[in-house]
Structure 1
Amino acid sequence: MSLAITLAAMFTGYYKFRERSYFLQQTADAIEEEANAVRLGIYPYREFDDDREAEALKLFTQCVEDHRNEQRRRQQQLDQPSDQTAPASQPSAA
């Protein structure tokens, strides 16, 4: 009986670890995409020229903070016990 409980706990811990790494990678990719967009001056930073660089960086910072806040929200959902967690989209097997 103890072995079954241990294996179940290990499986649950592994699954959440995989979800955490998936969501962290997703956030990192989104931030990298924003950084590339601001560096290359493409959407939504297309309208900012060299004279308005401070405005572009302000928008970039806001977008990055939005991504970070979303990551924190996901992390909090994962930290809740399974019976209280709302059904969320699960990462696809890649």
Structure 2
Amino acid sequence: MFAGYYKYRERSYFLQQTADAVEEEAYALTLGVGAYGAFKPNQEGEALALALFTQRVEDLRNEQRRRQQQLDQPAEQTSPTGAPQA
């Protein structure tokens, strides 16, 4: 019951998923591919690429927080008859 309440497996899965996505963004930024391929390798282009990177990573973090909050919500309790309790 304790492990089910804290949902360690789900938390671990979602954290790993977010970490992998952030690492993928970092590689794309470093290599200048994907969403970062359109930026020129000058100071202005690098600043724009970093701004995009920051925005995308913050989006990933916000999504992780949303998933975490959903896991923190208590499950709807049911009575022994199976009907939801008010």
Q: Compute the TM-score of the two structures, normalised by the length of structure 1.
A: 0.75
Deviation at 1:32, TM superposition (A): 0.2
Paired-residue identity, %: 67
Q: Specify every segment of 5 or more residues in structure 2 that has no aligned partner in the other structure, as ranges.
A: 78-86
Residue-by-residue CA offset, 1:8-47 (whole Å, 9 max, x unaligned): x234136x11000000000000000000000000011000
Amino acid at match of 2:66: R
1:50 Cα shift?
A: 1.3
* Relative contact order higher in (CA < 8 Å, ≥ 6 apart): 1
TM-score when scaled to structure 2? 0.82
Structure 1 vs Structure 2 CA RMSD: 1.4
Letter in structure 2 aligned against 1:61: T
- Three-state SS of the structure 1 residue aligned to 2:65 is helix
Cα distance in 2 between the residues matched to 1:62 and 1:11: 34
Report what 1:82 is aligned to.
75
- In structure 1, the residue matched to 2:61 is 68
1:43 maps to which of 34, 59, 62? 34
Larger radius of gyration: 2
CA distance in 2, matches of 1:43, 1:21: 27
Letter in 1 for 2:2: M
Distance, in Å, in 2 between the alignment partners of 1:24 and 1:10 is: 20
**Cα separation, 2, equivalents of 1:41 and 1:11:** 42
Number of paired residues? 75
Instruction: Give the unaligned 5+ runs of structure 1.
Output: 1-8, 85-94
Partner AA of 1:18 in structure 2: R
